[in-house]
Amino acid sequence: MNPDALRGHMDALLLSVLEREPLHGYAIIEALQERSGGALNVPTGTVYPALRRLERIGYLSSEWATVGGRKRRTYRLTDSGRKQLEGERSAWRQFTTVIGGVLRADTTGTT
Amino acid sequence: MNPDALRGHMDALLLSVLEREPLHGYAIIEALQERSGGALNVPTGTVYPALRRLERIGYLSSEWATVGGRKRRTYRLTDSGRKQLEGERSAWRQFTTVIGGVLRADTTGTT
DNA sequence: CCTTCATACATAGGTTGTCTACATATAGGG
DNA sequence: CCCTATATGTAGACAACCTATGTATGAAGG
């Protein structure tokens, strides 16, 4: 998966995996792998800064927890983030429609 | 349309509009607008450098023409570019499948 | 004539998100 | 003791897209 292709869609992915339940960064990376059938291997250097950014914007909130001697920062969707996720989904649909339409370009039979 | 979303898909768009016939930069911009129903307004500062990049890579070739006193640089797909377009299309399908799958995440009824 | 708009190309510099590489730390198995 | 899995994080590189600006021609209108 070309890294550049992810540009601008990372937020939607992160918000989406957090929709059902709060998760910590490492678990988010695993969730993305699983849900994508292994296609999405997002490095920590991408995920952690992105999560912080989303929290700063107000789409996520976080709190520390210690599980089995290891510290985790667990992120959860805020109301604002849940609303944003809706927006991301509709933006995604529009995006795929527009780009897909240009790429298909079946305009063979113009006349 | 969020600019970042286009990242990594610009090449596919450009190659795609050049599939049927050679076009010059200005006409390419107009073609993208038309084919996207006005959704895609790609600035010249994006298109011209991108076309040069694609030519440098070998996906496009260009030649100058003068039409009505105005100079045009007309780009056409090379064989390599045509092959690349196929690759871009299949990459696009894979991309939408993967991201779309994660975004949907209808995994409401587990178990 | 002169202004304005559409056509047509081009680049310098800024922005920003993703990646690579590295650093740190604990738990558990061999 | 070492290695792996778990877990978080940052610094700096990179690349693509955008903004802003510059040039030049032709046609239309006043």
Query: Testing the interface with B: which of A1, A6, A9, A23 to mutate, by most B Cβ within 10 A?
Result: A9
CATH of the domain at B46: 1.10.10.10
Q: Give the DSSP H/E element, type plus range, for residue A12.
A: helix A10-17
B8 in a domain, yes or no?
yes
pLDDT recorded at residue A105? 74
Question: Which residues make Cβ contacts (< 8 Å) with residue B33, sequence separation at least 6?
Answer: B40, B41
B100 in a domain, yes or no?
no
The total number of residues shown for chain B amounts to 111
Q: How far is A8 from chain B (nearest CA, A)?
A: 5
Among B3, B8, B92, whose Cβ lies nearest the Cβ of A103?
A: B92
For residue A60, what are the domain limits?
3-92
Phi, psi of B19 (to 5 degrees): -65, -45
Residue pLDDT, tens place only, B46-88: 999 999 999 999 999 999 999 988 999 999 999 999 999 999 9
Dist. CA A20–CA A22, nearest whole Å: 7
A67 in a domain, yes or no?
yes
**How many domains, in total, are found in chain A?**
1
Of all nucleotides, the one whose C1′ comes closest to residue A68's CA is C27
Residue pLDDT, tens place only, A19-69: 999 999 999 999 999 999 999 999 999 999 999 999 999 999 999 999 989
Q: Which residues of A touch B92 (CB under 8 A)?
A: 99-100, 103
pLDDT-derived band at B105 (thresholds 50, 70, 90) equals confident
- Which token pair is B30? 């107009």
pLDDT recorded at residue B76? 98
B67 in a domain, yes or no?
yes
pLDDT recorded at residue B49? 98
Is B1 in contact with A95 (Cβ distance < 8 A)? Answer: yes
pLDDT-derived band at B45 (thresholds 50, 70, 90) equals very high
pLDDT recorded at residue B3? 79
> Residue A5, Cβ neighbours under 10 Å: how many?
19
A106 in a domain, yes or no?
no
